[in-house]
């Protein structure tokens, strides 16, 4: 104090000063701790985030790797499948070819066993032709022109019969160009019926059809199937010509586990006991030589077997003959007309 020259010292207890300092220090330390905690938290979150990104990218890489592996597996499987399909197609082709050759071989062997009967069948008219020709010469020498002309007519008829035998035999020997294909049954029946319509109408034969509306697809050949149907229908008309009215012809189809059974029944005299045993034999006939060659059912039987089907015949309990064509079912195909000619 200047006026007095005194110096006044005020002493305070240290504890009074320490407290604010400590408080400041504690507050500062607390703040620092908080900051460090915050910083630590942030660092941890960042690490987590980075770890997640790393994990994600690892997972993505693994996924991509697995996708690649799977794609490779699928490609390998695909090429194996393609290879298998190719092999199957090849095997199928070989099978069809083998079947074709087998059918041809069986036809040729049938032809072989038939050759004895064929030479007999052809030799008979040949011998008759020779006789008629020799006689015609003698008759001409004697000026009997009309008798000679009659002989020439008989010769002509006999050559027709021989030509007919040969035409039927062609059906056996012909190599079918096509493997069995999908054929619509109802149109084939219509075609076969159309060919015989005039004769059926002239004979007043009632046709009773019991066929499903939906087209039935069978394994066959257009031509071969029409040929078989034509032969069976012609036989039925022949049989019906032996009986008086009412003449009836039933056509019905039945779906079976393997395919389709087509039944043709007539109310004619039915098969004789001998015909039931022998009708499949070439040249077996109960008709006169002018009416029948005995080749129809033999050809039908061979054709049906070549198509993987069957021809069955029996007498119906209600009278008349019943023939059944057992045909294999086929996938739906395209309705076509075959250009091949055929013999009925
Ligand atoms: P074809 O008709 O030239 O005699 P097939 O081989 O067609 O030769 O027939 C052989 C025989 O089977 C006939 O002669 C006949 O006795 C008998 N047959 C065929 N179909 C019938 C039928 N629908 N009814 C009665 N008999 C039949």
205 pocket-lining for ligand 1 (C-beta < 6 Å):
no
275 pocket-lining for ligand 1 (C-beta < 6 Å):
yes
Strand order across the 259-266 sheet: 205-210, 247-255, 259-266, 321-328, 310-315
What is d(CA 223, CA 191) in angstroms, rounded to the nearest whole number? 10
* Alpha-carbon distances of 332 from 183, 192, 218, rounded to whole Å: 8, 21, 9
- State the pLDDT at residue 143: 92
- State the pLDDT at residue 333: 72
What is d(CA 265, CA 319) in angstroms, rounded to the nearest whole number? 9
What is d(CA 175, CA 108) in angstroms, rounded to the nearest whole number? 10
Q: Are 107 and 306 in contact (CB under 8 A)?
A: yes
- State the pLDDT at residue 343: 40
- State the pLDDT at residue 34: 95
271 pocket-lining for ligand 1 (C-beta < 6 Å):
yes
Q: Which residues of 20-46 are buried (b: 16+ CB within 10 A; e: fewer)?
A: eeeeeeeeeeeeeeeeeeeeeeeeeee
Say whether 327 sits in a helix, a strand or coil: strand
- State the pLDDT at residue 341: 41
Distance 124 CA to ligand 1 centre (A): 21
- Nearest residue CA, atom 16 of ligand 1? 286
298 pocket-lining for ligand 1 (C-beta < 6 Å):
yes
129 pocket-lining for ligand 1 (C-beta < 6 Å):
no
Beta strands in the chain (DSSP E): 181-184, 205-210, 217-220, 247-255, 259-266, 310-315, 321-328
Say whether 247 sits in a helix, a strand or coil: strand
| Ordered mean pLDDT values, 10 residues apiece, the chain (344 residues) | 88 82 92 96 96 95 96 96 95 85 69 65 81 92 93 89 73 58 88 84 93 88 82 92 94 90 95 90 78 80 85 93 92 57 40
- State the pLDDT at residue 337: 45
Query: Which atom of ligand 1 sits closest to the CA of residue 236?
Result: 23
Distance 96 CA to ligand 1 centre (A): 33
Residue with tokens 């290879």: 83
Q: What is the dihedral of CA 174, 178, 183, 185, to 10 degrees?
A: 10
292 pocket-lining for ligand 1 (C-beta < 6 Å):
yes
Give, for ligand 1, the residue of 230, 243, 275, 304 to mutate: max count of ligand atoms closer than 8 Å to Cβ.
275
Distance, CA of 101 to chain centre: 19
Rounded to the nearest 10 degrees, the angle between the axes of helix 14-141 and helix 296-306 is: 160
For every residue of 284-321, DSSP letters joined together read: --SS-TTT--S-HHHHHHHHHHHTT-EEEEEE-TTSSE
What is d(CA 180, CA 100) in angstroms, rounded to the nearest whole number? 10
Q: What is the dihedral of CA 313, 314, 320, 321, to 10 degrees?
A: 0
- State the pLDDT at residue 181: 81
Distance 107 CA to ligand 1 centre (A): 21
Give, for ligand 1, the residue of 168, 230, 238 to mutate: max count of ligand atoms closer than 8 Å to Cβ.
238
Distance 295 CA to ligand 1 centre (A): 9
Q: Are 338 and 327 in contact (CB under 8 A)?
A: no
239 pocket-lining for ligand 1 (C-beta < 6 Å):
yes
283 pocket-lining for ligand 1 (C-beta < 6 Å):
no
- Nearest residue CA, atom 8 of ligand 1? 294
What is d(CA 188, CA 48) in angstroms, rounded to the nearest whole number? 81
Which residues are within 8 A (CB) of 344 and not within 5 positions of it... i.e. 6 or more apart? 195, 227, 230, 231, 234
282 pocket-lining for ligand 1 (C-beta < 6 Å):
no
Single pTM value for the model: 0.57
319 pocket-lining for ligand 1 (C-beta < 6 Å):
no
- Nearest residue CA, atom 14 of ligand 1? 285
Q: Are 298 and 282 in contact (CB under 8 A)?
A: yes
What is d(CA 334, CA 329) in angstroms, rounded to the nearest whole number? 15
270 pocket-lining for ligand 1 (C-beta < 6 Å):
yes
What is d(CA 35, CA 19) in angstroms, rounded to the nearest whole number? 24
- State the pLDDT at residue 106: 66
Distance 65 CA to ligand 1 centre (A): 76
């Amino acid at each position: 104090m200047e006026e007095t020259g005194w110096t006044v010292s005020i002493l305070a207890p240290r504890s009074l000063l320490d407290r604010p300092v400590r408080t400041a220090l504690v507050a500062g330390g607390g703040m620092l701790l908080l900051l460090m905690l915050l910083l630590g938290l942030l660092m941890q979150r960042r690490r987590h985030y980075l770890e997640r990104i790393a994990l994600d990218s690892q997972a993505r890489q693994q996924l991509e790797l697995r996708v690649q592996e799977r794609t490779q597996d699928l490609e390998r499987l695909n090429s194996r499948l393609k290879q298998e399909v190719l092999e199957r197609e090849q095997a199928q082709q070989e099978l069809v070819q083998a079947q074709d050759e087998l059918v041809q071989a069986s036809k040729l062997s049938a032809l072989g066993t038939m050759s004895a009967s064929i030479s007999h069948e052809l030799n008979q008219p040949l011998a008759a032709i020779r006789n008629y020709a020799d006689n015609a010469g003698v008759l001409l020498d004697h000026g009997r022109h009309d008798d000679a002309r009659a002989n020439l007519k008989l010769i002509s008829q006999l050559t027709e019969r021989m030509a007919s035998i040969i035409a039927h035999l062609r059906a056996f020997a012909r190599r079918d160009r096509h493997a069995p294909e999908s054929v619509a049954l109802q149109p084939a029946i219509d075609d076969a019926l159309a060919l015989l319509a005039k004769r059926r109408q002239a004979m007043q034969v009632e046709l009773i059809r019991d066929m499903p509306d939906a087209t039935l697809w069978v394994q066959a050949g257009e031509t071969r199937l029409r040929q078989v149907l034509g032969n069976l229908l012609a036989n039925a008309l022949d049989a019906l010509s032996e009986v008086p009215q009412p003449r009836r012809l039933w056509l019905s189809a039945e779906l079976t586990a393997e395919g389709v059974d087509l039944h043709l029944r007539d109310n004619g005299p039915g098969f004789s006991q001998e015909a039931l045993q022998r009708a499949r034999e070439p040249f077996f006939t109960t008709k006169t030589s002018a009416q029948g060659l005995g080749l129809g059912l033999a050809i039908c039987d061979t054709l049906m077997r070549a198509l993987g089907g069957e021809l069955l015949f029996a007498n119906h309990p209600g009278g008349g003959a019943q023939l059944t064509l057992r045909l294999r079912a086929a996938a739906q195909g395209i309705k076509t007309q075959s250009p091949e000619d055929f013999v009925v």
